Structure 1
């Protein structure tokens, strides 16, 4: 078939750039992506649609080539694709968190109309939405989830506006709640997996009752992808034939860690002094670059620190 030749040529160029990538995970990810992209183009019967798909594939190849040649913007882009910050993998990581199969369904806003039930914020999504470490924008307040700020005060039947102007349209309330849900989860940076903090009592994961059913096995659960990523920020050994400086690679992976929140289930504490329910927390890896500027603040300088700094400045 005449259309096979350009696809084969594009695939060979794709594989050539993939082989130059510095680490095994990136090569595995983009090899699978290359197969999917080129197969999709091959199975497309419409010439115009096939040409459009090949143009998109060629754009990805150009990004890979620029990344392999040391363009940090292009390298950040391929890291975001490979680790689910953008693209289809991002949706696959986020989709399980957008519902909670164990949650009790809220009653319909419009009595008798099942489709008018408001969205359910899972515990995992709630933790991500209310943390500045997992958001592209400012974190939400817990009250924003129960009463979205895009709703007018009139939507509260106990408000003075509702008493003066009358009740707010239930249909408009349903639409506003779902609109807010959709627009806000799209600003979330998904975790690669859900981690479990060992119990404080006996040091074993999942020792508290209910942990096994609460923590969902999503994303890269039961893999070493996150651990390998953290290691690359300390020992970014280049395992391919391409030359990219280790310090440069370490910087790119540290920046990537700043875009990957770590979602951890904290087991309930049952000691005599403190009783805290289990829940989810959001953090960043210690060597993530974003951790230095967001979510953590530097300690205030002491008198000794100031004295040392003045002395050091005078000696220079």
Structure 2
């Protein structure tokens, strides 16, 4: 006989949920997960189906366990907490991406199948096109080329009347063409990280010719007016543009003027009010920032995608400390010649 879900067990679990939520390090995280817990518990209590209630109870228990592990320093669970709160996955991601999947300012393209009402090809809005053609916003895969927005790379050659396959096998089915375009469109946007807000470029004044082609104000996307992007940048930017510190013995061996010059060239450390309380949290927010593309609307009416300087991303190059004479003395003799020989061999193989 299945176990009944009592209201007392639900309320006890909800209190545990609130206790773990209160321990989260940022106000927005606490607010998001508190509202999420309220919605889940309300739906759980409103359900009359015992099987569905047990499923929802299991989901709440899993969230409580993840929050508890995130508060104890588990990297994967803390990343999950951040991803859900900032729309990198889950319902919030779909809510942010939904307005970008259409363009109200443009009319619908003509139908591929005249008699079918749902045979319109997908429309890439300017925001979605900019995200699709940028590597900074992709969760996986390569950025698209402009021509791939119109003609997907998965489209068979038979769709082109000038191809040899068209002459040999005949035209491609129109229904199949519609399905291929929509399938590629859906798979593409699901591989993208949505922006959490739109940044408007407040650059210098434009010339008269540039003003004549300036577009109307862009639509709001993401979670505007909350300052979430600025908060994430502040929490992740503790070590932005800072060179890695050198060891104490090496620093003591430097001449006084050289050490003073090096210290003067390093940026000042941020105050405690500007950074998260621990290095663990700063690094998790830096990883989160690598999943948040900054979508900027320029004065010329175009959209540009970039990442913040403090973001951790697979395509980002990070500063490394220079090797001096003291460190070079600890390297194996002939280390430089060995490395140069390896690079020469790799270049020969590639050539």
TM-score by length of 1: 0.84
- Equivalent residues of 1:237, 1:246 under 8 A apart: no
Aligned with residue 118 of structure 1, among 112, 118, 121: 121
State the distance in 1 between where 2:56 and 2:18 align: 17
Do residues 167 (structure 1) and 164 (structure 2) align?
no
- Equivalent residues of 1:192, 1:219 under 8 A apart: yes
- Paired residue total: 290
Show the 5 A alignment for 1:4-15.
4-15=7-18
State the distance in 1 between where 2:299 and 2:5 align: 60
Residue of structure 1 in register with 2:51 after alignment: 48
State the distance in 2 between where 1:16 and 1:309 align: 49
State the distance in 2 between where 1:158 and 1:258 align: 43
Residue of structure 1 in register with 2:312 after alignment: 289
- Equivalent residues of 1:208, 1:267 under 8 A apart: no
Aligned with residue 177 of structure 1, among 173, 177, 181: 181
Show the 5 A alignment for 1:200-239.
200-201=204-205, 211-213=215-217, 215-233=218-236, 234=238
- Equivalent residues of 1:236, 1:249 under 8 A apart: no
Show the 5 A alignment for 1:36-115.
36-115=39-118
State the distance in 2 between where 1:55 and 1:246 align: 32
CA deviations over 1:162-219 (Å, ceiling 9, x no partner): 123221111110111111111111111110011111243269xxx8765444x11122
- Equivalent residues of 2:214, 2:299 under 8 A apart: no
State the distance in 2 between where 1:148 and 1:314 align: 52
- Equivalent residues of 1:42, 1:50 under 8 A apart: yes
State the distance in 2 between where 1:172 and 1:74 align: 41
Residue of structure 2 in register with 1:267 after alignment: 299
- Equivalent residues of 1:236, 1:246 under 8 A apart: no
Residue of structure 1 in register with 2:280 after alignment: 248
State the distance in 1 between where 2:33 and 2:212 align: 40
1:264 is paired with a residue whose SS is strand
1:133 is paired with a residue whose SS is helix
Call closer, same or farther: CA 1:227–1:56 in 2, change over 3 Å.
Answer: same
- Equivalent residues of 1:64, 1:74 under 8 A apart: yes
2:135 is paired with a residue whose SS is coil
1:14 is paired with a residue whose SS is helix
TM-score by length of 2: 0.76
State the distance in 2 between where 1:309 and 1:76 align: 34
CA RMSD of aligned residues (A): 2.7
- Return the offset for 1:313: 4.2
State the distance in 1 between where 2:53 and 2:271 align: 38
- Equivalent residues of 2:157, 2:166 under 8 A apart: yes
CA deviations over 1:223-261 (Å, ceiling 9, x no partner): 2111111111226969xxxxx961111111001000111
Structure with higher Rg: it is 2
CA deviations over 1:291-310 (Å, ceiling 9, x no partner): xx41x5579x9xxx9xx746
Residue of structure 2 in register with 1:280 after alignment: 303
CA deviations over 1:128-186 (Å, ceiling 9, x no partner): 11111111122122222111111111111222221232211111101111111111111
State the distance in 1 between where 2:130 and 2:325 align: 45
CA deviations over 1:258-305 (Å, ceiling 9, x no partner): 01111111121xxxxxxxxx3111111110011xx41x5579x9xxx9
Unaligned runs of 5+ in 1: 239-243, 269-277
State the distance in 2 between where 1:96 and 1:164 align: 42
